[in-house]
Amino acid sequence: MNRRDETRPEASGQGAGDRAEAGPPVEPAQDGGVRAALVVVSVALFAEALLMVGLVLWLLFDLFTLEPSSMATAIALLVLVVIGAIWISAVAVASLRRAPWSRAAAIVWQILQVSIAVGAFQGLFARPDIGWALLVPAITVIGLLLWTPVRLAYARPEEHPTA
């Protein structure tokens, strides 16, 4: 038995009528905060998907207008970016539907984005501006997706705690 189960009205023998007094009332501002967090996550995922589609178009344009030093590498990079664009687009659409799998996929995408941001801060061709542009939204989305009310919004109905 879970400790949280022991504090619930059903576990203590209280009836359904006593439940209203047992728990603290839900704050309307908290509900709005969760809604705002869900909107921020969805907007960020759609913005990332749009940027990935833009990157695909840019790479296609470069492939046809410039002479790559290695055609195989240029095509491989294009294929990887297309796969990433499809993946983040699917995750963004699924996040609107609050599909449980989309939360984990979004976290994985953000972790990949953090690793690219860290690489942008280092090396001979370091670009801190790109690093910050990738790092700030990634950390924000990870934090929001790990917040308990948002996590519960993505949970399956049978995983929701009974109120």
pLDDT average, residue stretch 6-33: 49
Dist CA 84 CA 81 (whole Å): 5
Q: Cα dist. 51→21, 48, 69, 85, 119 in Å?
A: 49, 5, 25, 8, 19
| Res. 73 pLDDT band, cuts 50 70 90 | very high
Give the pLDDT confidence score for residue 161 in this predicted structure: 64
| Burial grade of 95 (CB within 10 A; 0-12, 13-18, 19 or more) | buried
Instruction: Please report the pLDDT score of residue 33 as a whole number.
Output: 87
Per-residue confidence at 156, pLDDT binned at 50, 70, 90? Answer: confident
Quote the tokens at residue 25: 């009332």
CB 37 within 8 A of CB 147: yes
